[in-house]
Chain A
Amino acid sequence: EDKVVQSPLSLVVHEGDTVTLNCSYEVTNFRSLLWYKQEKKAPTFLFMLTSSGIEKKSGRLSSILDKKELFSILNITATQTGDSAVYLCAGLDSGGSNYKLTFGKGTLLTVNP
């Protein structure tokens, strides 16, 4: 069975700090690793990583995938209070006729002013 584990489960930082969120995965027919930000409603897509070692960046957020070690990290630099959210990592399994997206439990990030 596919498994995605995120750490830490929660994190409290001050504005301006840099944070690193971790995600390890065991996905049978691995296709991609996805990061989402979830505030009050459904997850908002951040990144999809398919190739190892290629960093994806969007503003202050960046992410990278290591397919050999089966993990990914999400970095947020110069954090702001608006970054407070649950960050979800999910592994996309492309085996069989349907895809399957398995989520980790998430990291609750709180950014204090």
Chain B
Amino acid sequence: NAGVTQTPKFRILKIGQSMTLQCAQDMNHNYMYWYRQDPGMGLKLIYYSVGAGITDKGEVPNGYNVSRSTTEDFPLRLELAAPSQTSVYFCASSGGQGVTQYFGPGTRLTVL
């Protein structure tokens, strides 16, 4: 049982480049989340999804896009990367809202 998996683990981007952070879960969870964590700060919600085909913005959605075509996958797209997007990105899933969320190992992204 893999839980929540994220790829890549590390990435360095140049300003203006684009990339997709992959997230997959095998727990048949309807809810999936993308967070970012800046150094010394807490988790901030970027986007979330309550099921396939349904996504909604969190606190800090600007500069990101998501899609949810299947229950298992919830990729996060960065268009026109900026240094302010340097952060650690966590994907999480849960069986409902406000219940235990299971996190992936994170992707450390640096934009130079």
Interface residues, chain A, CB within 8 Å of chain B?
2, 32, 34, 38, 41-45, 47-48, 86, 88, 90, 97-103, 105-106
Inter-chain CA distance A47–B92, complex, in Å, is: 19
Query: Given contacts A98-B3, A98-B4, A101-B101, are A42 and B42 in contact (CB under 8 A)?
Result: no
Query: Given contacts A41-B56, A42-B33, A42-B58, are A100 and B45 in contact (CB under 8 A)?
Result: no
CB-based contact A44/B103 at 8 Å: no
Tell whether B102 is near chain A: CB-to-CB under 8 Å.
yes
Interface residues, chain B, CB within 8 Å of chain A?
3-4, 33, 41-45, 48, 56, 58-59, 90, 92, 97-105
Query: Given contacts A48-B43, A98-B3, A99-B90, are A42 and B102 in contact (CB under 8 A)?
Result: no
B48 partner residues in chain A, CB cutoff 8 A = 42
Contact of B103 among A2, A38, A101 (CB under 8 A): A101
- Taking A42-B45, A88-B98, A100-B102 as known contacts, 5 extra A-B pairs with beta carbons closer than 8 A to each other, sorted by chain A number, are A41-B56, A44-B45, A45-B43, A45-B44, A101-B102
Main secondary structure of the interface of A (DSSP, over half): strand
Minimum CB–CB distance from B101 to chain A (whole Å) comes to 4
Residue of A whose beta carbon sits closest to that of B103: A99
CB-based contact A100/B42 at 8 Å: no
Minimum CB–CB distance from A14 to chain B (whole Å) comes to 27
Minimum CB–CB distance from A32 to chain B (whole Å) comes to 8
CB-based contact A98/B98 at 8 Å: no
Inter-chain CA distance A104–B50, complex, in Å, is: 20
CB-based contact B3/A34 at 8 Å: no
Chain A CB within 10 Å — which of B56, B92, B101, B104 has the most? B101
Query: Given contacts A88-B98, A98-B4, A106-B98, are A42 and B103 in contact (CB under 8 A)?
Result: no
Inter-chain CA distance A19–B4, complex, in Å, is: 37
A38 partner residues in chain B, CB cutoff 8 A = 98
Q: List 22 A-B contacts (CB under 8 A).
A: A32-B42, A34-B42, A34-B43, A38-B98, A42-B56, A42-B58, A42-B97, A43-B98, A45-B45, A88-B98, A97-B3, A97-B105, A98-B4, A98-B102, A98-B103, A99-B90, A99-B103, A100-B102, A100-B103, A103-B99, A103-B101, A106-B98
